[in-house]
Amino acid sequence: MTSTHETTAPADLDPANPFAAPSTLPYGLPDFAAIREEHYEPAILAGMAAHRAEVDAIATNPEPATVQNTLEALERAGQLLGRAARAYFNQLPSDSTPGLEDVQERLAPRFAAHQDAINMDARLHARVRSLADAAAAGDLDLEPDTAYLVEKLMKQFQRSGIELSPQDQDTLRDLNARITSLEASFGRKLLAGANEASVLVTDEAELAGLSADARAGARAAAEARGQDGWLLEMQLFTHQNVLASLENPSTRERVQSASMARGATGGENDTREVLLELARLRAEHAQLLGYEHHAAYIAADATAGTTAAVNEMLGRLAPAAVANARREASELAKVSGAPGSGGADGVAAADWSYLNEAVRKQRFNLDDAALRPYLELERVVHDGVFKAAGLLFGLSFTERVDLPGYHPDVRVYEVFDSVEPGEPGTGLGLFLADFYTRESKRGGAWMDSLVVQSDLLGEKPVVVNNLNIVKPPAGEPTLLVWDEVTTLFHEFGHALHGLLSDVRYPSQSGTSVPRDFVEYPSQVNEMWSWEPQILRSFAVHHTTGEPMPAEWVDTMLASRVWGEGFSTTEYLAAALLDQAWHQLTPEQVPTSVEDVLPFEAAALAAAGVDFASVPPRYRSTYFNHIFGGGYSAGYYSYIWSEVLDADTVQWYAENGGLTRENGEAFRRKLLARGGSQDPLASFEDLRGRAAEITPLLERRGLV
C-alpha cells in the first residue's frame, strides 16, 4: 500500500532508480531484488533536494498557516528521501559493504545540514508558532494528536537552535555535521574491530564443553573467512555467550580479554580518539543551546525530564545490585572443583558464566547445554513469539517467499489482523526477520522500519528485526541459549509497536516516542517467553518432539531471580558510564586516548559499581549504543522503561494474564497510540495510575 500524495521525483534522478517512484510491492516493501548499492546515494541526494523544495513551498506559502497547508504538508513532504534513507539505514548495519560505508561517510554531514536547514528555518517556525498561538488563544481548535504535534514541533525548533544568533547557528551546524560524521566513524571502526577481535581456535580440544552445533557454527565462520580452525565471533556486549560452555580456562580468558580489549588496542580500529571528540563536541553542542551538559539536553526531551531524576534512579539501584552480585559471586566461588575460579573479587570475569552454569546445575538441575535442544529457532518463533502475538492481539503470520529481502537470510512474513479467532483477517503489514550473524552485520539486536504506518499517507507498516545468532551449517537446526530466546521476544515487542501503530501522522508512528519509553513495550513482550502456556508450546526437543520436562519448566520459572545481581550490575555499570561521559562539560572531557580507560575506571568507582567480576555490559570503547547509535546519555532508558514494564506485568497478572481482552487493551491504549500523545498518559490510561517502582525491585531481587 503506497501513498497517493507525492510530487514527481526530481528530474536529475534516473527514473530507472528503484527509489524514483513508490514501490509497487505489497505494503511498499522496497524492491531489494532491483536495488543496488549505487542506487542509494543519488536517491538520497535527490530526496534531500525534493524535500527542501517541498519545505520551501510550505514556508513561502502566502496563505495564512493552517493545519492542512502547514502541518499536514510537512508530514507529507520528504517521501522520496524517507523511502531511500530508511532502506539504506536498515541495510548499512545489517549487511554493510565498503561502498555503503563510503556513502555514509560522504552523506553523514549532509544529513545533519539538511535537518538543520529545516529546523532553523525562521519562516517555517513562524507558521507553526502562529498555529500554536492561535490554539493557545482559543481561536483554533486542534485535535489532540495535532495539538501534541504542534507542541513537539515547537520544542524541536527550540532544541535545534532557532532562537540562537546567526553566528551561533553556524557553529551549531558545524557541530552537528561533525558529530554525525564521528558517530558513523565509531560504528565503522567498531564493526571492523569486532571482526578483528574474533578468537580463532586451532586445537579442537580447547573447545571442550561447546556443543556440537556451536562448534559447527564456529567452523563455518572460520571457513567463511578463509581460516583453518574454529572462529568464535564477538557479540556486541562484554560477556560472550560461549563463556558459559567452554571448559578450558585459558580459552575463556582469551575470549574475555579479546572482548574487553576491543577499540583500545591501537591501530585503525581504535575508537578512543573518536569517542573523546564525540564527548567534547556533544558537551559544546548542549552548552550552546543553554544546557549544562549533553545528559541534561537529552533528559529534557525524555520522560525523565532531568539528569537529577536519572541519577536518583541509578543511584538508588546500584548499591543493592552490587551487593546482590557479590552474594552471587560468593556462591560461585564455592563451586567445588570448578576450574578457573579466582581473581581479586573471588571470581574472574571470564569464569562467571561457566561457574554460574555449575551452580544452576547444583541448585536447579539446569544448564544451557541441556536446554538448547529444546530451544530450536523455528519452534521458538512460530510456537512462541508468533503464538503469543496471536493470543494477545489476534495476529497471524504467513511467510512470503515471493517477496525479496535485502539478504538471502532475510525472511518476509505478511501479518494479518483478525477480529475473531480463526478468521483469516485483513493485511496489517510485513515483518522481516534477519536472525543470523555475519561478517557484514554489526553486533547486537535491533528493530527498524522500512515503511511507517500513517493514516494521512495511507501507509501500512513494514518492520525488521535483526539478531546475531550463529548460523549452523546447512541442514542443521538452529539451537538457542535462553538469552537468545528472550532477545527474540524483546525485539518482536519493538516490531509490535510498529505493526500495531494506528496514528494519523507518520512522525508519530509506532516507536516515535522518547528514548526512555521506547524500550517499555519490548520489555513487556519479553515476559511471554516465561509464560508457562507459551514456554511449554515452543520448548520441544528438536529431534524427538518431546516437550521439555515439566519439572525443568517449573525450575526455570523458579530460578528467574538467580543471576539478577550479575545482570543488573553489568547493566547499571554501563548506564552509569554513559552518564559519566555525558555529564561532563567540554573542559572536563579527557584529552588523551591514554586517559579513556582510567576515566572509565574512576567513573565506575565513583558510582560504586567497580566490581571486577562483573564488568560493564559495554565498555566505553565498544559502547555502540552511545557513541555510534541513538542512545547517548540515554542508556538508562532500559531500566527506566522497566519500571513501567514490571508494573504492566503486574497489571496483566491482576487481570487474568495472557488473554485477548488484555492484549486488546494494551494494543489500543498504548501500542496503537505511538507518539500521538504524552506516552506517560498512555501508560496511565492503561494502568489507571502512575507507575510504581516496587514491582521492578521485586523482579530484580532488590527489595
pLDDT tens, residue by residue, 284-310: 999 999 999 999 999 999 999 999 999
Please check whether residues 402 and 456 belong to one and the same domain: yes
- The number of C-alpha atoms within 13 Å of 632 and in the hemisphere containing its C-beta is 27
Q: Are residues 544 and 478 located together in one domain of the fold?
A: yes
Does residue 148 sit within a domain?
Answer: yes
Q: Could you tell me if 467 and 531 lie in one domain?
A: yes
| pTM metric for this prediction | 0.90
Cβ proximity of 606 and 613 under 8 Å:
no
- Is the domain of 382 the same as that of 529? yes
Q: DSSP strand E in 489-631: where?
A: none
Check whether 29 has a pLDDT greater than 50: yes
Q: Which of 151-165, 213-227, 336-350 has the lowest mean pLDDT?
A: 336-350
pLDDT at 346: 73
User: Cell match 557513541: residue?
Assistant: 627
Q: Residue 604 domain-assigned?
A: no
Q: How far is CA 226 from the centre of its chain?
A: 32
Angstrom distance (rounded) from CA 198 to CA 330: 31
| Sign of the CA dihedral running 469, 475, 476, 479 | positive
Long-range contacts of 84-87, Cβ-Cβ distance < 8 Å, separation of 24 or more: 84/19, 84/40, 84/43, 84/44, 84/47, 85/44, 85/47, 85/111, 86/448, 86/449, 86/450, 86/451, 87/19, 87/30, 87/32, 87/35, 87/40, 87/406, 87/450
Q: Which CATH number goes with the domain that contains 514?
A: 1.10.1370.40
**Domain-terminating residue out of 558, 577, 610:** 558
Residues 385 and 532 in one domain: yes
pLDDT tens-digit readout, 442-471: 888 999 999 999 999 999 999 999 999 999
pLDDT at 358: 87
Q: Write out pLDDT tens, residues 165-212.
A: 999 999 999 999 999 999 999 999 999 999 999 999 999 999 999 999
Residues 77 and 194 in one domain: no
Phi, psi (deg, nearest 5) at residue 395? -90, 150
- 332, part of any domain: no
477: left (phi over 0), alpha (psi -120 to 50) or beta: beta
Answer yes or no: are the C-beta atoms of 546 and 536 closer than 8 Å.
no
311 found inside a domain? no
**Helix pair angle (564-582, 307-333), 10° resolution:** 140
Taking alpha carbons only, the member of 251, 207, 212 closest to residue 230 is 207
Residues with catalytic roles? 491
- The answer to whether residue 8 sits within a structural domain is no
* pLDDT of amino acid 10: 62
| Count of domains for the chain | 3
Residue 439 lies in a domain: yes
* Residue 142 and residue 243 in one domain: no
Local confidence band at 364 (pLDDT 50, 70, 90 cut-offs): confident
Domain co-membership, 84 together with 143: yes
Q: Per the domain annotation, does 285 fall within a domain?
A: no
What digits encode the pLDDT tens for the residues 64-74? 999 999 999 99
Q: How far apart are CA 21 and CA 80, in angstroms?
A: 8
Q: 62 is in which domain, residue-wise?
A: 26-94+121-159
- CA 74, 78, 79: angle at the middle one, nearest 5? 115
* 365 lies in some domain: no
Tell me what pLDDT residue 420 has.
66
663 and 392 Cβ atoms separated by less than 8 Å: yes
The pLDDT of residue 7 = 45
Same domain, 249 and 391: no
Query: Looking at residue 231, what is its pLDDT?
Result: 96
Chain-centroid distance, C-alpha 453: 19
Q: Helices 596-607 and 307-333, interaxial angle, to 10°?
A: 90
Check whether 542 has a pLDDT greater than 70.
yes
**Cβ count near 18 (within 10 Å):** 20
How far apart, in whole angstroms, are the C-alpha atoms of residue 148 and residue 458? 21
What are the residues facing 256 on neighbouring strands?
Answer: none
Q: What is the DSSP string of 623-654?
A: -HHHHTSS-TTTTTHHHHHHHHHHHHHHHHHH
Per-residue confidence at 359, pLDDT binned at 50, 70, 90? Answer: confident
Closest CA to 601 of 360, 264, 327, 270: 264
237 and 152 belong to one structural domain: no
Residue 200 exposure: Cα atoms within 13 Å on the Cβ side: 11
Q: Mark which of 107, 139, 159 sits at the end of a domain.
A: 159
H helix or E strand, kind and range, residue 447:
strand 446-451
460 burial (CB, 10 Å; 0-12 / 13-18 / 19+) is: buried
**Domain end position, chosen among 515, 542, 558:** 558
Q: Which pLDDT score, from 0 to 100, does residue 11 have? A: 58
Same-domain status, 422 and 552: yes
Q: Choose the most confident range, by mean pLDDT, from 212-216, 326-330, 380-384, 556-560.
A: 380-384
Question: Tens digit of pLDDT for each residue in 656-685?
Answer: 999 999 999 999 999 999 999 999 999 999
Q: Is 346 left (phi over 0), alpha (psi -120 to 50) or beta?
A: left
CA pair distance 388, 533, nearest whole angstrom: 9
Q: Is the pLDDT of residue 572 over 60?
A: yes
Q: Are residues 153 and 202 in the same domain?
A: no
Secondary structure E strands in 351-445: 395-399, 411-417, 426-436
